[in-house]
Protein backbone atom coordinates (compact mmCIF):
# COMPACT_ATOMS: atom_id res chain seq x y z
CA UNK A 1 0.00 0.00 0.00
CA UNK A 2 2.87 2.34 0.87
CA UNK A 3 4.35 1.71 -2.59
CA UNK A 4 1.15 2.85 -4.31
CA UNK A 5 1.00 6.02 -2.17
CA UNK A 6 3.79 7.47 -4.29
CA UNK A 7 2.10 10.11 -6.55
CA UNK A 8 4.30 9.24 -9.57
CA UNK A 9 3.50 5.54 -9.31
CA UNK A 10 -0.16 6.36 -8.70
CA UNK A 11 -0.31 8.47 -11.88
CA UNK A 12 1.36 5.73 -13.92
CA UNK A 13 -1.41 3.32 -12.87
CA UNK A 14 -4.29 5.84 -12.89
CA UNK A 15 -3.70 7.18 -16.43
CA UNK A 16 -4.79 4.03 -18.31
CA UNK A 17 -7.17 2.92 -15.55
CA UNK A 18 -9.36 6.07 -15.50
CA UNK A 19 -10.84 5.79 -19.04
CA UNK A 20 -10.99 1.98 -18.77
CA UNK A 21 -13.09 2.16 -15.58
CA UNK A 22 -15.35 4.91 -16.93
CA UNK A 23 -16.01 3.25 -20.30
CA UNK A 24 -16.56 -0.27 -18.94
CA UNK A 25 -18.77 1.16 -16.17
CA UNK A 26 -20.88 3.14 -18.63
CA UNK A 27 -21.32 0.08 -20.89
CA UNK A 28 -22.32 -2.28 -18.03
CA UNK A 29 -24.62 0.34 -16.47
CA UNK A 30 -26.33 0.99 -19.83
CA UNK A 31 -27.03 -2.74 -20.31
CA UNK A 32 -28.26 -3.15 -16.70
CA UNK A 33 -30.56 -0.12 -16.86
CA UNK A 34 -32.06 -1.11 -20.24
CA UNK A 35 -32.71 -4.53 -18.71
CA UNK A 36 -34.20 -2.96 -15.58
CA UNK A 37 -36.45 -0.60 -17.50
CA UNK A 38 -37.62 -2.85 -20.33
CA UNK A 39 -37.02 -6.52 -19.59
CA UNK A 40 -37.12 -7.12 -15.82
CA UNK A 41 -40.46 -8.51 -14.71
CA UNK A 42 -42.92 -6.49 -12.61
CA UNK A 43 -42.92 -7.56 -8.96
CA UNK A 44 -45.99 -9.24 -7.42
CA UNK A 45 -46.64 -6.61 -4.73
CA UNK A 46 -44.88 -3.48 -5.98
CA UNK A 47 -45.65 -3.87 -9.67
CA UNK A 48 -43.62 -1.69 -12.07
CA UNK A 49 -42.19 0.60 -9.35
CA UNK A 50 -39.70 -2.15 -8.45
CA UNK A 51 -37.66 -1.07 -11.53
CA UNK A 52 -36.41 1.93 -9.48
CA UNK A 53 -34.41 -0.67 -7.52
CA UNK A 54 -31.75 -0.74 -10.30
CA UNK A 55 -30.95 2.96 -9.71
CA UNK A 56 -31.76 3.34 -6.02
CA UNK A 57 -29.79 0.44 -4.51
CA UNK A 58 -26.47 1.12 -6.36
CA UNK A 59 -26.82 4.81 -5.43
CA UNK A 60 -27.34 3.91 -1.75
CA UNK A 61 -24.38 1.50 -1.77
CA UNK A 62 -22.09 4.08 -3.40
CA UNK A 63 -23.28 6.89 -1.13
CA UNK A 64 -22.14 4.78 1.84
CA UNK A 65 -19.04 3.40 0.05
CA UNK A 66 -17.90 6.97 -0.68
CA UNK A 67 -17.90 7.89 3.00
CA UNK A 68 -16.26 4.58 3.93
CA UNK A 69 -13.47 5.47 1.47
CA UNK A 70 -13.17 8.93 3.08
CA UNK A 71 -12.93 7.31 6.54
CA UNK A 72 -10.24 4.79 5.49
CA UNK A 73 -8.22 7.46 3.65
CA UNK A 74 -8.57 9.79 6.65
CA UNK A 75 -7.28 7.08 8.99
CA UNK A 76 -4.30 6.44 6.66
CA UNK A 77 -3.61 10.17 6.54
CA UNK A 78 -3.79 10.61 10.32
CA UNK A 79 -1.72 7.53 11.15
CA UNK A 80 0.83 7.26 8.31
CA UNK A 81 0.58 10.79 6.84
CA UNK A 82 0.59 9.55 3.26
CA UNK A 83 0.56 12.38 0.72
CA UNK A 84 -2.06 10.63 -1.41
CA UNK A 85 -4.50 9.84 1.41
CA UNK A 86 -5.94 13.37 1.68
CA UNK A 87 -6.23 13.50 -2.12
CA UNK A 88 -8.06 10.13 -2.13
CA UNK A 89 -10.46 11.32 0.58
CA UNK A 90 -11.23 14.57 -1.27
CA UNK A 91 -11.58 12.69 -4.56
CA UNK A 92 -14.27 10.45 -3.04
CA UNK A 93 -16.35 13.28 -1.55
CA UNK A 94 -18.13 14.73 -4.61
CA UNK A 95 -19.10 11.37 -6.19
CA UNK A 96 -20.21 10.12 -2.76
CA UNK A 97 -22.37 13.22 -2.26
CA UNK A 98 -23.89 12.89 -5.76
CA UNK A 99 -24.81 9.23 -5.17
CA UNK A 100 -26.20 9.96 -1.68
CA UNK A 101 -28.40 12.70 -3.21
CA UNK A 102 -29.41 10.32 -6.03
CA UNK A 103 -30.33 7.68 -3.44
CA UNK A 104 -32.57 10.15 -1.60
CA UNK A 105 -34.21 11.45 -4.80
CA UNK A 106 -34.82 7.99 -6.33
CA UNK A 107 -36.05 6.76 -2.93
CA UNK A 108 -38.56 9.62 -2.78
CA UNK A 109 -39.75 8.77 -6.31
CA UNK A 110 -40.15 5.13 -5.22
CA UNK A 111 -41.83 6.09 -1.95
CA UNK A 112 -44.67 8.09 -3.50
CA UNK A 113 -46.31 5.21 -5.44
CA UNK A 114 -45.20 2.50 -2.95
CA UNK A 115 -45.90 4.19 0.43
CA UNK A 116 -48.12 7.09 -0.64
CA UNK A 117 -45.56 9.70 0.41
CA UNK A 118 -42.26 11.10 -0.87
CA UNK A 119 -40.72 11.33 2.58
CA UNK A 120 -41.05 10.07 6.14
CA UNK A 121 -38.73 10.96 9.04
CA UNK A 122 -37.81 7.38 9.84
CA UNK A 123 -34.37 6.03 10.76
CA UNK A 124 -33.19 4.94 7.29
CA UNK A 125 -34.25 8.05 5.39
CA UNK A 126 -33.12 10.47 8.08
CA UNK A 127 -29.69 8.84 8.52
CA UNK A 128 -29.19 8.92 4.73
CA UNK A 129 -30.08 12.63 4.73
CA UNK A 130 -27.55 13.13 7.55
CA UNK A 131 -24.95 11.43 5.31
CA UNK A 132 -25.65 13.95 2.53
CA UNK A 133 -25.21 16.83 5.02
CA UNK A 134 -21.95 15.23 6.24
CA UNK A 135 -20.68 15.18 2.64
CA UNK A 136 -21.60 18.87 2.19
CA UNK A 137 -19.87 19.71 5.48
CA UNK A 138 -16.77 17.73 4.48
CA UNK A 139 -16.58 19.46 1.08
CA UNK A 140 -16.96 22.90 2.69
CA UNK A 141 -14.30 22.08 5.31
CA UNK A 142 -11.80 20.59 2.82
CA UNK A 143 -12.34 23.54 0.46
CA UNK A 144 -11.77 26.04 3.27
CA UNK A 145 -8.60 24.25 4.40
CA UNK A 146 -7.25 24.30 0.83
CA UNK A 147 -8.10 28.01 0.37
CA UNK A 148 -6.92 29.23 3.79
CA UNK A 149 -3.95 26.85 4.05
CA UNK A 150 -5.05 25.10 7.27
CA UNK A 151 -4.11 21.59 8.37
CA UNK A 152 -5.50 18.75 6.24
CA UNK A 153 -5.87 16.80 9.48
CA UNK A 154 -9.07 18.75 10.30
CA UNK A 155 -11.17 17.28 7.42
CA UNK A 156 -9.52 13.90 8.13
CA UNK A 157 -10.81 13.96 11.72
CA UNK A 158 -14.24 15.02 10.43
CA UNK A 159 -14.16 12.14 7.91
CA UNK A 160 -13.32 9.65 10.62
CA UNK A 161 -15.95 10.91 13.10
CA UNK A 162 -18.63 10.99 10.37
CA UNK A 163 -18.10 7.27 9.71
CA UNK A 164 -20.21 6.55 12.81
CA UNK A 165 -23.23 7.25 10.57
CA UNK A 166 -22.49 4.32 8.20
CA UNK A 167 -23.47 1.47 10.58
CA UNK A 168 -26.42 3.61 11.75
CA UNK A 169 -27.71 3.75 8.14
CA UNK A 170 -27.16 0.01 7.67
CA UNK A 171 -28.81 -1.12 10.91
CA UNK A 172 -31.53 1.57 11.04
CA UNK A 173 -34.12 -0.75 9.46
CA UNK A 174 -33.30 -3.44 12.04
CA UNK A 175 -33.07 -1.21 15.13
CA UNK A 176 -36.16 0.94 14.51
CA UNK A 177 -39.62 0.54 12.99
CA UNK A 178 -39.46 1.72 9.41
CA UNK A 179 -41.51 1.86 6.22
CA UNK A 180 -38.26 0.92 4.48
CA UNK A 181 -37.79 -2.80 3.93
CA UNK A 182 -34.95 -4.63 5.74
CA UNK A 183 -31.85 -5.63 3.73
CA UNK A 184 -32.64 -8.31 1.13
CA UNK A 185 -29.01 -8.81 0.11
CA UNK A 186 -26.19 -9.75 2.48
CA UNK A 187 -23.06 -11.87 2.86
CA UNK A 188 -25.14 -14.89 3.86
CA UNK A 189 -27.39 -14.77 0.78
CA UNK A 190 -30.29 -13.02 -0.87
CA UNK A 191 -34.07 -13.11 -0.56
CA UNK A 192 -34.45 -11.61 -4.04
CA UNK A 193 -35.64 -13.54 -7.09
CA UNK A 194 -33.01 -14.23 -9.78
CA UNK A 195 -34.24 -11.75 -12.44
CA UNK A 196 -33.96 -8.88 -9.92
CA UNK A 197 -30.77 -10.09 -8.22
CA UNK A 198 -28.62 -10.46 -11.36
CA UNK A 199 -29.85 -7.20 -12.87
CA UNK A 200 -29.15 -5.44 -9.58
CA UNK A 201 -25.65 -6.93 -9.29
CA UNK A 202 -24.87 -5.82 -12.87
CA UNK A 203 -26.17 -2.27 -12.20
CA UNK A 204 -24.18 -2.11 -8.94
CA UNK A 205 -21.01 -3.27 -10.73
CA UNK A 206 -21.51 -0.73 -13.55
CA UNK A 207 -22.18 2.23 -11.24
CA UNK A 208 -19.25 1.16 -9.01
CA UNK A 209 -16.83 1.15 -11.96
CA UNK A 210 -18.02 4.65 -12.95
CA UNK A 211 -17.60 5.74 -9.32
CA UNK A 212 -14.03 4.38 -9.23
CA UNK A 213 -13.22 6.12 -12.55
CA UNK A 214 -14.63 9.41 -11.27
CA UNK A 215 -12.61 9.13 -8.02
CA UNK A 216 -9.41 8.53 -10.03
CA UNK A 217 -10.21 11.47 -12.36
CA UNK A 218 -10.82 13.78 -9.39
CA UNK A 219 -7.63 12.58 -7.65
CA UNK A 220 -5.64 13.25 -10.83
CA UNK A 221 -7.18 16.75 -11.05
CA UNK A 222 -6.35 17.50 -7.40
CA UNK A 223 -2.77 16.21 -7.81
CA UNK A 224 -2.27 18.24 -11.01
CA UNK A 225 -3.54 21.39 -9.26
CA UNK A 226 -1.21 20.81 -6.28
CA UNK A 227 1.78 20.23 -8.59
CA UNK A 228 0.96 23.28 -10.78
CA UNK A 229 0.56 25.53 -7.71
CA UNK A 230 3.85 24.28 -6.22
CA UNK A 231 5.70 24.90 -9.49
CA UNK A 232 4.24 28.39 -9.92
CA UNK A 233 5.10 29.25 -6.30
CA UNK A 234 8.66 28.05 -6.79
CA UNK A 235 9.01 30.11 -9.97
CA UNK A 236 7.64 33.20 -8.18
CA UNK A 237 10.17 32.77 -5.35
CA UNK A 238 13.06 32.34 -7.79
CA UNK A 239 12.10 35.48 -9.74
Partner 1 sequence: MREALDPWPFVIAAYALGVGATLALAAWSWLAMRRAEKRREEAKAK
Residue 122 backbone class (left: φ over 0; alpha: ψ -120 to 50; beta: rest): beta
Q: Least distance to partner 1 from the beta carbon of 21, Å?
A: 10
Least distance in angstroms from the C-beta of 159 to partner 1: 20
105/185 with CB nearer partner 1: 105
Determine if 232 is a binding residue for partner 1 (CB under 8 A). Answer: yes
Nearer to partner 1, 62 or 160 (CB): 62
C-alpha 107/C-alpha 110 separation (Å) is: 5
102/6 Cα distance (integer angstroms): 33
Helical packing angle, 83-115 and 194-238, nearest 10°? 140
| Angle made by CA atoms 46, 63, 59, in degrees to the nearest 5 | 35
Among 27, 144, 193, 228, binds partner 1 (CB under 8 A): 228
| Residue 214 binds partner 1 (CB under 8 A) | yes
Within 83-142, which residues bind partner 1 (CB under 8 A)? 94-95, 98, 101-102, 105-106, 109-110, 112-113
26 binds partner 1 (CB under 8 A): yes
Contacts of 126 (CB under 8 A, 6+ apart): none
Task: Output the CA–CA distances (angstroms, integers) from residue 115 to 93, 101, 107, 179, in the order listed.
Answer: 31, 20, 11, 8
Q: Which is nearer to partner 1, 75 or 136 (CB)?
A: 136
Looking only at residues 28 through 67 of this chain, which bind partner 1 when binding is defined by CB under 8 A?
29, 33, 36-37, 47-49, 51-52, 55-56, 59
Minimum CB–partner distance for residue 167 and partner 1 (Å): 26
Closest to 164 measured CA to CA, from 137, 192, 134, 138: 134
**Strand-pair partners of 186:** 189
Q: Under a CB-based contact definition with an 8 Å cutoff, are residues 218 and 30 in contact?
A: no
Query: Is the Cβ of residue 35 or residue 171 nearer to partner 1 in the bound state?
Result: 35
* Residue ranges that bind partner 1, judged by CB under 8 A: 18, 22, 26, 29, 33, 36-37, 47-49, 51-52, 55-56, 59, 94-95, 98, 101-102, 105-106, 109-110, 112-113, 207, 210, 213-214, 217-218, 220-222, 224-225, 227-228, 231-232, 235
Amino acid sequence: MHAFANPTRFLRIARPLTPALLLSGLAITAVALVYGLLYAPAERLQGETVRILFVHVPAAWLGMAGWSAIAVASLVELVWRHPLAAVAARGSAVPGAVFAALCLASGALWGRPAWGTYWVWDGRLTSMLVLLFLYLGYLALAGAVQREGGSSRIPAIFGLVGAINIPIIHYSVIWWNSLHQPPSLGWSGSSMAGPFLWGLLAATLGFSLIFAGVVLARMRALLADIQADARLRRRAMEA
